[in-house]
Amino acid sequence: MLLRVLDFETTGLPPDAAIVEVGWCDVVDGVVGEQGSMLVNPKRPISIEAMATHHIRDHEVSAADPIDLGLRRLMDDKPDVFVAHHAAFEQEFFKGGDAAWICTLKVARRLWPDAPRHTNSVLRYYLELDLDEERAMPPHRAAPDAYVTAHILAKALPLASIEDMVKWTKQPSLLPRCTFGQHSSKTWDDVPTSYLTWMTGNEGMDADKRYTARHHLKLRGVGQQGRRAS
């Protein structure tokens, strides 16, 4: 099974952004392979904020290949699964045909809830990944970021099935701790049932928070109306 990890650097944030760099790194049978990348012409200016992150400038992409060529490169060899850290961002630009997707951010939140954060860079050190420094640097460039994410995926493969990771990706994210309100910084075990029940009925809560609240109510044997299941 070919798992293709991908990463995009962009002109800014969706919906008005475009890709400036396409990166990829394949994982086959749990082994991280070679990575690659290509600059592409976004046909629009790169925002100052984006430049400050990836340091790609307008003159570097003005004569680059069109975006479509970079996206077609991702389809070479017909990957079975596409993988990205916070895959919803990459999916704003690339759907991947019929291939399934794995979001390593959602996977990491489930497998390593005690990590201080679940960004690509933090997980790199939290998981003590064995990386080739030249291939992993600099951060916030498409090929190095895809390479680091590929190693996060390889670390996850002995702990969860591909089928489970695909399923988790389709669901809202299971947040590892409460990060807001009066119970901020608490583990979910320390958040009162009444607060979890309130979260599930609060339309102002995002899907991840409400999903996490429902998950922990279910673990406690409590329905969304605050009644313990019989």
Give which of 88, 101, 111 is closest to 176, Cα–Cα.
111
Q: Does residue 227 surpass a pLDDT of 90?
A: no
Q: Tell me the CB-side half-sphere exposure of residue 124, using CA atoms within 13 A.
A: 18
pLDDT score, position 95? 97
Q: Which residues contact 25 (CB under 8 A, 6 or more apart)?
A: 4, 5, 32, 33, 34, 35, 36, 143, 146, 147, 149, 150
Question: If you average pLDDT over every residue of the chain, what do you get?
Answer: 96
Q: Do the Cβ atoms of 194 and 181 come closer than 8 Å? A: no
Tens digit of each residue's pLDDT (9 = 90 or more) over 51-62: 999 999 999 999
Largest distance between two CA atoms of the chain: 66
From-to residues of CATH 3.30.420.10 in the chain = 2-170
pLDDT given at position 223: 73
Q: In terms of CATH architecture, what is 2-170? A: 2-Layer Sandwich (3.30)
Task: Say what percent of the chain tops pLDDT 90.
Answer: 97
Q: Is 35 helix (H, G, I), strand (E, B) or coil?
A: strand
pLDDT at 225: 56
CA nearest to 87, candidates 156, 5, 144, 175: 5
Give CA–CA dist 38/151, Å, rounded: 21
Q: Over the stretch 16-39, which tens digit does the pLDDT of each residue have?
A: 999 999 999 999 999 999 999 999
**Sign of the dihedral through C-alpha 164, 167, 168, 169:** positive
Percent of the chain with pLDDT over 70: 97
CB 120 within 8 A of CB 152: yes
List alpha helices for the chain, DSSP H.
48-54, 58-61, 67-74, 87-91, 104-111, 120-126, 133-136, 142-156, 162-170, 193-200, 207-219
**pLDDT above 90: residue 228:** no
CA distance 215 to 213: 5
Write the CB contacts of 6 (distance below 8 Å, at least 6 apart in sequence). 22, 23, 24, 74, 82, 83, 84, 90, 94, 146
Q: What torsion do the CA atoms of 83, 88, 92, 98 make, to the nearest 10 degrees?
A: 50
Cα–Cα distance for residue pair 82/5, rounded to 1 Å: 6
